[in-house]
Structure 1
Amino acid sequence: MSVRVLFLGSLRDSADAPEADYPAPLDWQGLLAAVPAAVAEQLREPHVHVACAGKVLSDKTDLAAQDGDEVALLPPVSGG
């Protein structure tokens, strides 16, 4: 039983991997404890968003990922 976490954009660089699997269920505190410290630090920033099962959470601390869910960590978009 696991949750797949996708590290997108700059979070991928901080994680040194594009994705990782963590034990399910996975809540906000569990996510912060599971990911690398550099990623956890960035996740605490208000401009970083979290999507679970294809839906962006309005409050990322409400994360409640279950077995088989995919969680995407979304850094701010930049461009020009």
Structure 2
Amino acid sequence: MTLTLLFLGPLEDVAGVPEMSLDVAGAATLPDIAERLDPALAVAITAPRVRIALNGQLVAPADVRAGNGDELAFLPPVSGG
């Protein structure tokens, strides 16, 4: 079973790729996912200001339950002016 992770903006730079796939056995939580990533990327995606979208819907980090066929996008804080 495969889960797709999308990294936007500076998170893509940390990840080194715009997206990656993870094999999952069932519903994975954010800590489950983070522990399988490079430590720097795990810290970046779990930062307090990073927003998470599960299949296009914003979710709280504690509500992440992603599994087969799901898409999890990590959205950095918006800046500019």
Q: Which has the higher strand share?
A: 1
Partner residue, 1:70: 71
Contact 1:3 1:26 in 2 (8 A): no
Question: Runs of 4 or more off by more than 2 Å in structure 1?
Answer: none
Match for 2:20: what amino acid?
A
1:30 aligns to what? Answer: 32
Tell me the CA shift for residue 31 of structure 1: 1.3
Query: TM (normalized to structure 2)?
Result: 0.88
State the Cα RMSD in Å.
1.2
Once the two structures are TM-superposed, the CA of residue 28 in structure 1 deviates from its matched residue by 1.2
What stretches of structure 2 of length at least 5 have no aligned partner? none
The match for 1:45 among 44, 47, 57 is: 47
Cα distance in 2 for partners of 1:67, 1:44 equals: 21
The amino acid of 2:14's aligned partner reads S
Deviation at residue 45 of structure 1 after TM alignment: 1.8
Per-residue CA shift, 1:15-50, capped at 9, x if unaligned?
001100012332111111122211211223210111
Give the partner amino acid of 1:14.
V
Consecutive unaligned residues of structure 1, counting only runs of 5 or more, are: none
TM-score normalised over the length of structure 1: 0.89
Partner-residue secondary structure (3-state), 2:22 = strand
Corresponding residue pairs, total: 79
